[in-house]
Amino acid sequence: MKNLRYFSFIILSIAFQSLGGIFGKYAALSLPAPSFIGIVTNAFYILSLGCLFFQAIVWQQALRHFPLSVAYPFMGLVNFVVLFSSAILFQEGVTLANIMGLVLISVGITVLSHKIGDSA
């Protein structure tokens, strides 16, 4: 049960990493012309950096409670969030290769999640 409570650090890390990428895309789309001042004053860019900062903090907490070999594969869930968010928010396409990649990631995460359940 303790491991499941600490698993929230992995979930938060996935969320912050995903949001960082999504805000980064919004930042890129909202810049009329790339310039240093334009980038550092862009609200989406600042939000992206903030998300990545918080991701680093919660990731360190996750690594305090799980071996890297167990925690890191769960970061593959970022691919799910980003793929579906990009399709919904940015009307980007989802290909068969994307779906097959997500299936492979899912199998790996499922296998590793049994390690967490076994050690709880």
pLDDT 10s digits, 22-64: 999 999 999 888 888 888 899 999 999 999 999 999 999 999 9
Per-residue pLDDT band for 100 (boundaries 50, 70, 90) equals: very high
Per-residue pLDDT band for 119 (boundaries 50, 70, 90) equals: low
pLDDT, one tens digit per residue, over 66-76 is: 988 888 888 98
Measured distance CA(68)–CA(54) in Å, rounded: 18
Reported pTM: 0.83
For the segment 95-118, the average pLDDT, to the nearest whole number, is 82
Count the domains in the chain: 1
pLDDT at 3: 75
- Residue numbers of the domain that contains 110: 2-119
Q: Which token pair is 12?
A: 């938060």
Measured distance CA(60)–CA(74) in Å, rounded: 14
Q: What is the mean pLDDT of the chain?
A: 89
